[in-house]
Amino acid sequence: MNKCTENEIQEMLPDLLHRTLAADTRARVEAHVASCEQCREELEVLRTVMSAAVFAPVINVDQVVRQIPPYQKIVPAVERPATTRIVSWLVAATMGIAVIGGGSLVLARRDVPNDPTAVVIKEPPVSIPSQGGSEPSRVAGSGSQPDAGVAAVAPHTHALALAADVGGLTDGNLEQLMTEMAQFDALPATEADPVIFVDSSFNLEQDSE
Amino acid sequence: MIPSPDERLEETDMELIDRWKAGDTRAATRLVGRHSQALARFAASAGERDGIEELVQDTFVRAFASLGSFRGESTLRTWLFTIERRLMLDRRRADRRSRETVPVEESDHVSEYGALDSLIAEEAQERVRKSLDALSPTQREVFTLRVQQGLSYKEIAEVVGTSEGAARVHYHNAIQTVKEFLRDE
C-alpha cells in the first residue's frame, strides 16, 4: 500500500464523516479517497470507531433543568450591572472622604491647645545681652521649670512653634535644643556692637613668654 | 404569520441563551436537551463509569451560573466540554485521595476502560474499546473529541488545554495506534 502524502486531506476525514465540509472541499476529499487505499482504510477505521460508541446513560433533561436557578437569581452574584458598581464606588469614596476629613478636624481641634511643641511667648520674648553677650540670653522655656514668660496659647501673641516632629524629643533634648536656639542671632541687635580697644604698646612676644 | 421561537427548528445556542436570560426556562430545556447526550458520551469515552448523570447535571449547573460571562467566542458545546473535563479531573483527584489508589495523571498510560467491559457487547465495539484502551488518556480524549464529537483541532485544544499543534500530534499518534491494533486483531 502506497503511503499517502496528502496530510491535509487525511486530517479532514473525520469532518467528511460528520458532514461538516463545504461542498467543494467534500468533493475534493471524496475524489482523493476514491484513489487512495490508505485513506480508504483510515476512513473505514473511523467509521468503525464512530459506530462503536461507548455506552452512555440517557440524561433526564427535566431533572437537570430543575437544578438550574433562574438567571435573575444568578445575576446579582455573578454579573452586577455597571450602574450598581458605580454607585457602590461613589458611596465608598464619600464615606472615605467623610472619615478622613472628620478625623483631621478632630485631631486639629484636639492638638491646638495641647500641642507640646507650640511655645507661646509673652512680650518681651527675648532679652538680648547688652554687653558682648556676656550674659546668656534668656529665652522662654529654656529652663527645666516653666518660665514666667511662657503662657498658654492666647490670641495676638507671638508663638514660637517648632516643627511637629520634635514632639518625640525628650525633655533633655528639648532643653538642649532651646539652649542652642538661644545662642542664635535671630533677632536684630538694637545696640551697637561693643568696641574693643587694643593697646598698641602690648607686646605679643612678651605675652607669649 | 411569524413562527414562535418554539416553532423554529434551528435556533442558535446564543439565541437560546438570550431567551433564558430573559426568563424563558424553556430555552434552558432546549439547550440541555441539545447538548446533554454529547456530554454523557464524552464522559463515558473518557472513562467515567459511575455518576455520569450527576456529572452532566453539575456541568450544566456550573455552565448556566457562568453564562453571563459566555461571549460566544467558542461554541457552547466546546465550552461545556471544557467545564465537564475540569469536573472529571476534579473527581479523579478526589477519588485518588479517598481511595489511596495508584494516581491517574493525564500523562499516564493507564487504562480506565476495564470498567466498561460489561457495557460493550458487540465484537466490533469490543475491538474498538481495546484499541482505545491502548491510548494515553490525552490521546483518547483528543481522538474521541475528533472522531466521535467532530470537534476541530482548535476546539479540541481549548477543551484539553493544549495547543492546536499538540492536538494534531495526539490525534496522529492515536489513529496510528488504533489502525495497527485493529489490523492486528
**Binary contact (B150, A15; C-beta < 8 A):** yes
Tell which of B62, B81, B104 closes a domain: B104
The answer to whether residue A35 scores a pLDDT higher than 70 is yes
pLDDT given at position B162: 92
| Residue that finishes a domain, picked among B104, B134, B149 | B104
Domain shared by B123 and B184, yes or no: yes
| Shared domain check, B113 and B65 | no
Same domain as B60, residue B88: yes
Domain count, chain A: 2
Cis geometry, peptide bond prior to residue A124 (ω within 30 degrees of 0):
yes
A49 and B148 in contact (C-beta within 8 Å)? Answer: yes
Decide if B160 is inside a domain: yes
Q: Is residue B2 situated within a structural domain? A: no
Q: Which of B70, B104, B138 is the last residue of a domain?
A: B104
Helix residue ranges per DSSP H, chain A: 7-11, 13-17, 23-35, 37-51, 61-66, 71-78, 82-114, 171-182, 204-208
Q: What is the pLDDT of residues B73-98, one digit of tens each?
A: 889 999 999 999 999 999 888 877 76
CATH number (domain holding residue B171)? 1.10.10.10
What residue in A sits closest to B151 (Cα-Cα)? Answer: A15
Q: Do A61 and B32 touch (CB under 8 A)?
A: yes
The ipTM of this complex is 0.73
pLDDT of residue A143 exceeding 70, the answer is: no
- Which residue in the block uniquely carries the three cell numbers 426568563? B23
CA distance B89 to A83: 38
Q: Does residue A125 share a domain with residue A67?
A: no
Q: Which residues of chain B are within 8 Å of residue A60 when distances are taken between CB atoms?
A: 53
Cα separation of B161 and A42, whole Å?
27
- The DSSP annotation for A117-137 comes to TEEEEPSS-EE--SSTT-SPP
Q: Are residues A2 and A67 in the same domain?
A: yes
- The 3 state secondary structure assigned to B79-132 is HHHHHHHHHHHHHHHHHHHHHCCCCCCCCCCCCCCHHHHHHCCCHHHHHHHHHH
Question: Based on the structure, what is the number of domains in chain B?
Answer: 2
The closest CB to that of A54, out of B44, B67, B150, belongs to: B44
Kindly list the residues of chain A whose beta carbon comes within 8 Å of any beta carbon in chain B: 11, 14-15, 17-18, 20, 41-42, 45-46, 48-65, 67-72, 74-75, 78-79
Chain A positions in Cβ-Cβ contact with residue B121 (cut-off 8 Å): none
Q: Is residue B6 part of a domain?
A: no
Side-chain-facing half-sphere of A77: CA atoms under 13 Å: 9
Nearest-5° angle of CA B168, CA B171, CA B175?
140
Clarify whether residues A71 and A136 are in a common domain. no
Give the separation between CA B45 and CA B151, rounded to whole angstroms: 15
A42 in a structural domain? yes
Q: Judge if B91 and B132 occupy the same domain.
A: no
Of B74, B63, B177, nearest to B131 by C-alpha is B177
Domain with B17 in it: what CATH number? 1.10.1740.10
Residues A124 and A167 in one domain: yes
Residue B161 inside a domain? The answer is yes
Residues spanned by the domain of A152: 111-182
Q: At which of A77, A103, A136 does a domain end?
A: A77
Answer for the pair B43, B56: CB distance below 8 angstroms, yes or no: yes
Residue A98 Cα, gap to closest chain B Cα (Å): 36
Which of the given ranges, A17-31, A60-74, A149-163, B1-15, has the highest pLDDT on average?
A17-31
Q: Domain check: are B91 and B145 in the same one?
A: no
When mean pLDDT is compared over A154-158, A191-195, B58-62, B108-112, the highest value belongs to: B58-62
* pLDDT at residue A135 in the model: 46
pLDDT in tens, chain B (185 residues): 455 544 456 789 999 999 998 989 899 999 999 999 999 988 888 878 788 999 999 999 999 998 888 888 889 999 999 999 999 999 888 877 766 544 444 444 334 444 444 444 467 777 887 888 889 989 999 999 999 889 999 999 999 999 999 999 999 999 999 988 888 76
In this structure, the answer to whether residues B125 and B97 fall within a common structural domain is no
Average pLDDT over residues A182-196: 57
- CB nearest B119 (choices: A20, A55, A74): A55
- A105 or A54, which is more confident? A105
The secondary element (H helix, E strand) that includes residue A151 is: strand A150-151
**Is the pTM value of this prediction over 0.90?**
no
> Is residue A96 included in any domain, yes or no?
no
| Boundaries of domain holding B124 | 109-185
Q: Are residues B113 and B100 in the same domain?
A: no
Residue B114 shares a structural domain with residue B92: no
Residues B113 and B184 placed together within one structural domain of the fold: yes
- Dihedral angle, C-alpha B172, B173, B178, B183, nearest 10 °: 90
Nearest CA in chain A to B124: A52
Residue B52 belongs to a domain = yes
Task: Compute the distance between CA of residue A128 and CA of residue A139 in angstroms, rounded to an integer.
Answer: 9
Whether A64 is in a domain gets the answer: yes
pLDDT beyond 60 at A43:
yes
**Cα angle, residue B105 at apex, residues B103 and B106 outer, rounded to 5°:** 160
3-class DSSP state of A160: strand
Q: How confident is the model at residue A84 (pLDDT cuts 50, 70, 90)?
A: low
